[in-house]
Amino acid sequence: MIIILRKGATKEQISHIHDKIKSIGLKPHVSVGVDRTVIGAVGDESLINEEQLGTLDYVDEVVATSKSYKLVSREFKSQNTVVSVGDAKIGGKQLSVTAGPCAVESKDQILQTAQAVKKSGALILRGGAFKPRTSPHDFQGLGEEGLKYLADAASSVRLPCTTEVMDTRDVALVSEYADILQIGARNMQNYPLLKEVGKSDKPVLLKRGMSADVHEFLLAAEHIMNEGNRNIILCERGIRTFTRFSRNTLDLNAIPFIKQESHLPIIVDPSHGSGKRLFVHPLSKAAIACGADGLLVEVHPNPEEALSDAEQTISTKEFSALMKELGPVAQSVGRSV
Amino acid sequence: MIIILRKGATKEQISHIHDKIKSIGLKPHVSVGVDRTVIGAVGDESLINEEQLGTLDYVDEVVATSKSYKLVSREFKSQNTVVSVGDAKIGGKQLSVTAGPCAVESKDQILQTAQAVKKSGALILRGGAFKPRTSPHDFQGLGEEGLKYLADAASSVRLPCTTEVMDTRDVALVSEYADILQIGARNMQNYPLLKEVGKSDKPVLLKRGMSADVHEFLLAAEHIMNEGNRNIILCERGIRTFTRFSRNTLDLNAIPFIKQESHLPIIVDPSHGSGKRLFVHPLSKAAIACGADGLLVEVHPNPEEALSDAEQTISTKEFSALMKELGPVAQSVGRSV
Amino acid sequence: MIIILRKGATKEQISHIHDKIKSIGLKPHVSVGVDRTVIGAVGDESLINEEQLGTLDYVDEVVATSKSYKLVSREFKSQNTVVSVGDAKIGGKQLSVTAGPCAVESKDQILQTAQAVKKSGALILRGGAFKPRTSPHDFQGLGEEGLKYLADAASSVRLPCTTEVMDTRDVALVSEYADILQIGARNMQNYPLLKEVGKSDKPVLLKRGMSADVHEFLLAAEHIMNEGNRNIILCERGIRTFTRFSRNTLDLNAIPFIKQESHLPIIVDPSHGSGKRLFVHPLSKAAIACGADGLLVEVHPNPEEALSDAEQTISTKEFSALMKELGPVAQSVGRSV
Amino acid sequence: MIIILRKGATKEQISHIHDKIKSIGLKPHVSVGVDRTVIGAVGDESLINEEQLGTLDYVDEVVATSKSYKLVSREFKSQNTVVSVGDAKIGGKQLSVTAGPCAVESKDQILQTAQAVKKSGALILRGGAFKPRTSPHDFQGLGEEGLKYLADAASSVRLPCTTEVMDTRDVALVSEYADILQIGARNMQNYPLLKEVGKSDKPVLLKRGMSADVHEFLLAAEHIMNEGNRNIILCERGIRTFTRFSRNTLDLNAIPFIKQESHLPIIVDPSHGSGKRLFVHPLSKAAIACGADGLLVEVHPNPEEALSDAEQTISTKEFSALMKELGPVAQSVGRSV
């Protein structure tokens, strides 16, 4: 850790920090510069409370030299983590495409979708039963009934399935039906929920929060891994920015950066990443070209009738076309669909 | 609701929307403009799924003409809601200042803080027992032990207290100790939790999410009120922006806007709203001058030793000075401290 | 234009707006809804000052139904504009890659770069002579001397060249040396400069401002086209967001959206779009996969010695590798390099 | 300057940086930590190109320990700068309120406004003659004719006046009429323009760019001061964020921070800072309470007829009420109006 003092810091002030670092068990290095004094603290940084040093009037900045994430970091594990679910090996050479409706609406709707996306090459089926809706007056999902329809549809086409869990009290129930537990963007920093799925033996699909920076995203995964669950799939799904022409801004910069910093696989959600159907095809290709390990796409037999996220949902027919277009792109970067 | 079609929309397409609106039970009004056709739908807008219309290729934009929030809106209730807790009447003429440490660290620490802030004029004591921490390796709070210390300290100085609840499973437990249930920024869209506190008979302090726009903030309150709990205190606590000189950007524009749109009281958290002690005094005054109903301030007997949020915490001595400075500002806008 | 009134608007207020619209020469349509009244104004919207209506207390929202950009819109011209410079046909099937250093530093440096990027397949040479630097104490570019070095290097390898112009007084001078006039992100809303290059017969490369939404970007192009210059190349170069792991967030959503809204070609700058060398290869591929018409890449013989933007600059050797990797990606989406 | 290396950096790599620092003329300090090696460079940091070090694969981060702004910093000049224009002493105890229309529209309009705002206590008259408009099809200002009307109106009520200059070629012309040269938000990083007004003997009112962080804002002022002009008034006018309920987000955090970092006076523009008339009164009070040295307010005899920025403009009558309300707030923080 490095502590940069303000111009004019006194000897007493320098001593105070020097002694504080020493008392914690780290080695202080004082370096008196032309403009200001800099103090280094060598040793186990996790022993220092960075913010406490920041309270001192004569401290200008405190810079950490260690990463705050450990278990999820590539420094901890240099080889890529590959999460296996059904035929999908997320993080392997073959891309994993997860597809399905935003919400399970009926037995027929999810079955029809399952059959179509399976035929087009999806490896995992998605569908929401518990829906986080901005307004309490909108459709909230079918709950356990939806879970049943989803699991039945998935099983009938021999695909694993994923669905969102929002409440710590529902983790056990959702785990009965789902092969992957999904944590939505709004819950990325719901720590009790992260801990609960961290104790589960099901893989977790963790979506990036709307305004989470990458280190916070990785630290959310750290909360899960810290409880013992190492099967985590990250998902970039767009961040909130000033732009108004798209609902969110897909942040593809995050793909190469996370690949550098972490061993975990990362997929991209082009539906939420933009908020409009227009963008789904081009952004899916961009995500693959840029190194993503897969996609999470909202697909509905008839988007015009979809009960939620209709605007960003593509039809099963459009999904079939998309999968065909993805093949050559995947190949161009040494992957396959 | 108004549906703006793209240039070149055909008669069949116009008919399709016309008939769809009619079938839902609203009255369609088609207006053929110079550039494009606009269709109005008069009636109960909540019957229309706006996004479904957005899926149609020939629809350029769908504009709602009703507010999506109902119960929390000033249209629903024109008079200000005043929430009474202890001697505080939040939303009344006298400002309500809530003060205390980010985290309860020990029996002594919270008691000492309670005595100091009471003496300086705070009307409510705050202190965290369950802490949402970005890293799982940081101090997570004392849990139930912390709740006890907080309740004891509050009771010994005859102040009501508030503390954060993060898990639906903890609402009952926290309610045993706290007078106000606090929902943190990270949980503003944790809908199961909002519903759970909505069923409680304790007032709820709802903090704005880091990237929540005002209508989403009001809709989060709507989730609570929809369950029957009408005692909601909103709290502006800074939003996430591109700036790096402050941790968050306090959005005081929200105060007059929420006052116009909603009957609920709103207070300001200048500690999180900026992230640094330097800002707490000036932003507290700005908040009051701008019409806030109170403040939520992080105060610690010795910030340099605070286990969390040290950098934005002021000392009990600084808090005492702040309260003295606030008096004239409150008076200048017709309020009192 | 549609004017949505607040609940409770009176007959007099409705009449006032009705008459105002009529007096301007448009046809008013009043539609009294359940909740609120909506007034449509049919005719030439450009005659109405939208903001004036917004000043009225009883107006809740004013919604435009026409696009504010005309000349640059696809409604105005449905076929793609292709800008021809040297062998490059920007907007055609073959992708146009522009490459070169952030700043021209010496005769040798730009010549060496020109030879290398030409050999690797770049179609246009870039290099800054007038540099917009955040600090006045940093290297400001070589000025006219730099223009000469750039033009000589470009001519010796038979490539056209592009360079930034920052001052209306320099447009004539820069036009003597450059084949394309570049408007930097900081000057996207420098309207006198836009008008000046709009009068030029040289093509203009217009970079998106750091916090410009897409309609503002298109309106900046409209300023140029309004003066008569129709050869405009748009460039997405990353926007400013809350993220700190990358300097900017490349907004690839803009590519398909601009392709829908406008006939102008659009290229991507992966160097500024991220701010770090790590991202240049993956983002270049993503841009191509997503439909961009070309790239603008910062290349230097030895980035460690580059006088500006060193961190986001790739070496001539890395550029050669990049171009080889781009071939298959371009092909996968029906383009060529 | 501090250079943090990646884990696993080799001896050769450490030597390379060590030697590079030495060759530049600074003293290197190598500190081998548990996790990673940190190298300090003591001496004149301006000699090092921070970005060049960032190009090295084995460098994780480069941290500056000196401020990049010099002349505008409080380290350079500890006492507050007070800019005197007419009766206004901007930065002194008395607040300076500048008021007037967004655009000068006619001789009568500006004269009527001048008389009204003078009567209400404004110390400076504002009015735009050259208007930066997002669309080329909107009213662009009256140009020199507008300058004349403005100067005449100001002179007839004995107030100094300020107006925006957008083009380097217009600085001399505008200086003939205006007492203060205003640089708009869109031109905050138009460096040729900053340099040109830096050579002028007129005070400069510099508005913060829509997406400029505070250090960039101060560096823009540094560009002006570097040319010799020390009479600079900073103006916070709102930043661009994700919120949609207000046009901009007024960033009052900037006031105390700039007061700490710089000796320059800073005023607040509550009109652009929010974009709606609703906010102007409360935000003006907040700005004063928080330590601003004055206000810049858009005022028009009849906002409903204003040709630009109508929605955020208050009437001369509302301005008179505002000034009366500001008195007690100013007094509450030891200032006067």
Residue of D nearest to A4 (CA): D65
Q: In sequence order, which residues have a C-beta less than 8 Å from that of residue D62 and are 6 or more positions away?
A: D1, D2, D3, D4, D50, D51, D53, D54
Select from D38, D40, D44 the Cβ nearest to the Cβ of A34: D44
Rounded Cα gap, residues C333 and A325, in angstroms: 8
Q: How confident is the model at residue D4 (pLDDT cuts 50, 70, 90)?
A: confident
In-domain check, residue D223: yes
pLDDT in tens, D313-333: 999 999 999 999 999 999 999
For B205-248, the pLDDT digits (tens) are: 999 999 999 999 999 999 999 999 999 999 999 999 999 999 99
Query: What token pair was written down for B235?
Result: 């709290």
Q: Tens of pLDDT along A163-200?
A: 999 999 999 999 999 999 999 999 999 999 999 999 99
CB B303 within 8 A of CB B310: yes
- The whole-number pLDDT of residue A38 equals 86
Residue B249 has pLDDT above 90, yes or no: yes
C-alpha distances out from residue A180 to A113, A164, A201, C219, D127, Å: 18, 9, 10, 46, 61
SS3 at position C172: helix
CA–centroid distance for B202 within its chain? 16
Distances (CA, A) of A253 to B231, B261, C242, C277: 43, 38, 13, 11
Query: Quick one: which of A313, A304, A232 has its CA closest to A272?
Result: A313
User: Positive or negative CA dihedral for B314, B315, B320, B324?
Assistant: negative
Same domain, yes or no: A49 and A95: no
**pLDDT, position B308:** 83
Confidence check: pLDDT of D75 > 80: yes
Q: What is the pLDDT of residues C40-78, one digit of tens each?
A: 888 888 888 878 888 888 888 888 877 789 999 998 999
The predicted pLDDT at position C56 comes to 85
- Asked if B267 contacts B233 with a C-beta cutoff of 8 angstroms, the reply is yes
Residue B321 pLDDT: 97
Query: Which pLDDT value is given to residue B35?
Result: 74
Residue B248 backbone dihedrals phi, psi, to 5 degrees: -135, 170
- What's the pLDDT score for residue B280? 96
Least confident range of B194-198, C95-99, C236-240, D306-310: D306-310
Distance CA D271, CA D298 (A): 6
Residues A87, A48: one domain? no
Cα three-residue angle B247-B135-B318, rounded to 5 degrees: 45
**Residues D146, D47 within the same domain:** no
Contact C51 D308 (CB under 8 A): yes
pLDDT of residue D184: 97
Question: Given a cut of 90, is residue A1 above it in pLDDT?
Answer: no
Residue A19 has pLDDT above 80, yes or no: yes
Instruction: Give the pLDDT mean for B308-314.
Output: 88
Residue among B1, B4, B31 with most chain C CBs within 10 A, to mutate: B31
Mean pLDDT of D107-126: 98
Region class of C8: left (phi > 0), else alpha (psi between -120 and 50), else beta: left
Percent of chain A with pLDDT over 90: 74
Examine residue D309 and state whether it is found in any structural domain, yes or no.
yes
Residue C330 pLDDT class (50, 70, 90 cuts): very high
D258 in the same domain as D174: yes
- The answer to ipTM > 0.85 is yes
On whether any CB of chain B is under 8 Å from the CB of D286, the answer is yes
Contact flag A189-B186 (C-beta cutoff 8 Å): yes
**pLDDT grade, residue D102 (50/70/90)?**
very high
Domain coverage including residue D25: 2-63
Which residue type occupies C97?
V
Q: How far is CA A116 from CA A100, A102, A125, D99, in A?
A: 9, 15, 10, 64
- Residue C2: what pLDDT? 85
* Per-residue pLDDT band at B38 (split at 50, 70, 90): confident
Work out the minimum CA distance from A73 to partner chain B, whole angstroms.
Answer: 13
Residues of B in contact with A173 (CB under 8 A): none
Q: In this model, does residue B254 exceed pLDDT 90?
A: yes
What pLDDT sits at residue C241?
97
Mutate to test the interface with B, among A237, A248, A311 (most CBs of B within 10 A): A311
Residue of C nearest to B7 (CA): C75
Among A167, A226, A304, select the one facing B55 at the smallest CB separation. A304
Q: Is residue B225 part of a domain?
A: yes
Taking every pair of Cα atoms in chain D, the longest distance, rounded to a whole number of angstroms, is 76
Element (H, E) at D183: strand D180-183
| B196 and B52 in a common domain | no
B300 Cα to chain C: minimum distance (Å)? 30
CATH number at residue B98: 3.20.20.70
Write out the two tokens for C202: 């040289």
Distance, in Å, from the CA atom of A332 to the CA atom of C246, rounded to the nearest integer, reads: 26
pLDDT in tens, C138-161: 889 999 999 999 999 999 999 999
Cα(D163)–Cα(D145) distance, rounded to whole angstroms?
Answer: 13
Contacts of D240 in chain A (CB under 8 A): 242
For residue B34, the domain's CATH number is 3.30.70.1140
* Residues 6+ positions from D96 with CB-CB distance below 8 Å: D88, D89, D90, D123, D124, D267, D293, D294, D295
CA distance A241 to chain C (A): 6
Q: Are residues C33 and C174 both part of a single domain? A: no
How far apart CA C77 and CA C91 sit, in angstroms, is: 14
Average pLDDT for D116-142: 94
Who has greater pLDDT, B66 or B99? Answer: B99
Mean pLDDT across chain B: 94
In whole angstroms, what is the distance from residue B166 CA to residue B207 CA? 12
Tens-digit pLDDT profile for residues A117-146: 999 999 999 999 999 988 898 889 999 999
Residue type, C78: S
> Is C73 within a domain?
no
Q: What is the pLDDT of residue A29?
A: 85
Spatial CA neighbour of D289 closest among B271, B255, B235, B325: B325
The per-residue pLDDT for D253 is: 97
Touching C: which chains, 3+ CB pairs < 8 A?
Answer: A, B, D
The two most distant CA atoms of chain A are separated, in Å, by 76
Q: Name the band, by pLDDT with cuts 50, 70 and 90, for residue C231.
A: very high
SS3 content of chain D, % helix, strand, coil (to 5): 35, 20, 40
What span, in angstroms and rounded, lies between the C-alpha atoms of A234 and A208? 7
Tally of domains within chain A: 2
One-letter identity of residue B234:
L
* Same domain? C248 vs C190: yes
**pLDDT band for position C307 (50/70/90)?**
confident
Distance (Å, rounded) from C-alpha D268 to C-alpha D284?
Answer: 8
Pick from D63, D91, D115: which residue ends a domain? D63
> Is pLDDT at A307 greater than 80 in this prediction?
yes
Residues C206, A284: Cα–Cα separation, whole Å: 27
* D277 domain residue, yes or no: yes
**Terminal alpha carbon distance of chain A:** 45
Distance from CA of B272 to the nearest CA of D (A): 12
> CB-based contact (8 Å) between A191 and chain B?
yes
B63, B92, B114 — which closes off a domain? B63
How far is the alpha carbon of B206 from chain A, nearest alpha carbon, in Å? 15
Question: Does one domain contain both A11 and A52?
Answer: yes
A46, A51, A240 member nearest B309 (Cβ): A51
Question: Are B25 and B110 part of one and the same domain?
Answer: no
Tell me how close the Cα of D290 comes to any Cα of chain C, in angstroms.
25
Asked if residue C158 and residue C211 are part of one domain, the reply reads yes
CB proximity B331 to D under 8 Å: yes
Say if D77 falls within a structural domain: no
In chain A, residues with a C-beta closer than 8 Å to the C-beta of D47 are: none
Is the confidence at residue D191, as pLDDT, over 90? Answer: yes
Domain final residue, candidates A34, A63, A92: A63
Q: What are phi and psi of B320, to 5 degrees?
A: -60, -45
Other residues' Cβ atoms within 10 Å of the Cβ of residue D88: 26
Give residue D118's pLDDT band: very low, low, confident or very high (50, 70, 90).
Answer: very high
pLDDT of D236 over the 90 cut: yes
The verdict on B92 and B188 lying in the same domain is yes
Confidence of residue B54 (pLDDT cuts 50, 70, 90): confident
pLDDT, greater one: C57 or A266: A266
Question: Are the C-beta atoms of B119 and B132 separated by less than 8 Å?
Answer: no
Under the banding of pLDDT at 50, 70 and 90, the label for residue D274 is confident
Please say if the pLDDT value at position B306 is more than 80: yes
Residue-level pLDDT at D65: 76
Is residue B70 in some structural domain?
no
Mean pLDDT on D51-78: 87
Q: Is residue D71 part of a domain?
A: no
> Could you read off the pLDDT of B255-289 as tens digits, one per residue?
999 999 999 999 999 999 888 888 999 999 999 99
pLDDT at residue A46, rounded to an integer: 80
pTM confidence score? 0.94
Indicate whether D109 and D45 sit together in one domain.
Answer: no
pLDDT for B304? 87
Q: What is the rounded CA–CA span in Å between residue C184 and residue C208?
A: 8
Q: Interface partners of D (3+ CB pairs, < 8 Å)?
A: A, B, C
User: What percent of chain A shows pLDDT beyond 70?
Assistant: 100
Question: C279: pLDDT confidence band, cut at 50, 70 and 90?
Answer: very high
- Closest-CA residue to B187 (of C243, A132, A137, A169): A132
